[in-house]
Structure 1
């Protein structure tokens, strides 16, 4: 085999590897998360804290359906004594709306924790203090595996609770976007872990 042929094979394999990475990442992340996901509140094992990941909020009292479903699931977990605290992570408007929703549902102020710099899933996990260690994460099924992948990688003992309470209009768009997001998560954990650990310590 000539040097040129070896080079061609090497480049071809590299291209195939890059093209297959999104599918490998998606399968890996979903497989590792499966054993940590709960479908119903009743079956959830108690943890110290519920982390609710942000989504669109139109104003201080108007949550998107996706975010309202997440918050209602967190409220149900709290009322069923599955956790003692609810941590709400998103941008400032999202967290204000989430807080108002929780209070209207009878959750006391001292049970609510706020992270107004949770601009994406990774940030929401990196912004978490190292304690409590045992947490529940609440989001929709399409999003939950990636959130659990991050959380368990960064040292938490995390389980997830599916917050799907409606049929979502853009669900197929969300799933396609998640395929790319899972690829990024794979890079975050396996390709650039030193940078993310530095951010966490900082």
Structure 2
């Protein structure tokens, strides 16, 4: 064996260590969400659907394809009787506009009664959405709606907080392949943040008193 091959054999294991460390949190999310991420056709039910917010279209009055797909999927779940209420969680003061106001209006326009919708304008990230769903709105069982690349993180975070959560993959009509690929790659650093948030058990960016809105939406 040549000296070059011997050096290469020594370097390969050294290169694998940082690569494995890089994806370790992603592997943790996949492991802890295993068996709880579903296609839309799966027969999974809960009392509440939680829809994660996302950027709005320019002008701040319409959802972008990511968010529109989540809302359409939530509407389908509600119409099929697989949930009785919808919690829309996002940034009411986001850079692209009031996410939860647009989400609520879209759902109402597509047949979800407004009395069945609860808006949390302080779901600033996935961790805050799960934490506030549990602590503020008393959610204990939920279907989480987002795109497939995001669901392992969302499901793992919510289940780690004691919510009996299953993810339902949202459609994404009009989403470009490179946009989907970019967001999938973004999940690698996002997994590190999710791990930190879970281990540190940090409070949400905005704390609120307990709300009975979900209870009212379920029994109205």
TM-score by length of 2: 0.76
Q: How many residues align?
A: 185
**For residue 34 of structure 1, what is the aligned residue in structure 2?**
34
Q: What are the equivalent positions in structure 2 for 1:7-18 lying under 5 Å apart?
A: none
- Stretches of structure 2 lacking an aligned partner (at least 5 in a row): 1-15, 93-97, 210-220
- Check if 1:189 corresponds to 2:198: yes
Q: Distance in 2 between matches of 1:144 and 1:129?
A: 18
SS of structure 2 residue aligned to 1:132: coil
**For residue 168 of structure 1, what is the aligned residue in structure 2?**
175
TM-score by length of 1: 0.83
- Check if 1:141 corresponds to 2:148: yes
Q: Is the 8 A contact 2:90 2:122 kept in 1?
A: yes
> Quick one: structure 1 residues 84 and 60, their matched pair in 2 at CA, closer, same or farther if it must change by over 3 Å?
farther
**For residue 64 of structure 2, what is the aligned residue in structure 1?**
64
**Bigger Cα displacement from structure 2, 119-128 vs 167-176:** 167-176
SS of structure 1 residue aligned to 2:127: helix
Q: Greater helix percent: which structure?
A: 1
> Quick one: structure 1 residues 188 and 161, their matched pair in 2 at CA, closer, same or farther if it must change by over 3 Å?
same
- Check if 1:157 corresponds to 2:164: yes
- Stretches of structure 1 lacking an aligned partner (at least 5 in a row): 1-15
Post-superposition offset of 1:200: 7.2
Q: Distance in 1 between matches of 2:17 and 2:203?
A: 24
Q: What are the equivalent positions in structure 2 for 1:74-85 lying under 5 Å apart?
A: 74-85=74-85
- The alignment's C-alpha RMSD in Å is 2.4
Q: Distance in 1 between matches of 2:111 and 2:60?
A: 17
